Amino acid sequence: MPNDSSGDRPALPWFFNLYNQAQGLKRELTTGINTRIFVGDNVMLSVVRIEPNSEGTLHSHPEEQWGVVLEGECIRLQDGKEVPANAGDFWLTRGGVEHSVRTGDQACVVLDIFSPPREEYKNTGAGYGAKD
């Protein structure tokens, strides 16, 4: 994992580092899946760490979601299909579509991008949102 180099520069409310674990709103989605959330006016970023041998809950929400695998590998579950995904792969999930993710022996880091921002994720907490 690259180093968090954010200690080299002044703290700015609009500048972040992907590897700085102190940044972002923390949320435990389920056992083994944790995220740090960054909220904008129209878009929300969620840096999700999925531990080895973890599985998310099949869920949906009205917001559009893009996901990008930054590190590791996972299985993306969507539209009744299971698709292996590796670093560099990304996907689109339209609002209302059920989806989830799981890992095997390797951890995975996914960058999720939501539009509009999810109301449930604007605060620290646990779970996937109101429908948990």
pLDDT at 2: 63
pLDDT at 131: 54
**Per residue in 75-108, pLDDT tens?**
999 999 999 999 999 999 999 999 999 999 999 9
**Cα atoms in the 13 Å half-sphere on the side-chain side of 24:** 22
**CA torsion 51→53→58→59, rounded to 10°?**
0
Sign for the CA dihedral angle at 86, 88, 89, 91 comes to positive
Residue 132 reports pLDDT greater than 60? no
Residue ranges per domain, the chain?
Answer: 37-116
**Per residue in 26-40, pLDDT tens?**
999 999 999 999 999
**What fold does the segment set 37-116 form as a domain?**
Jelly Rolls (2.60.120)
pLDDT grade for 10, boundaries at 50, 70 and 90: confident
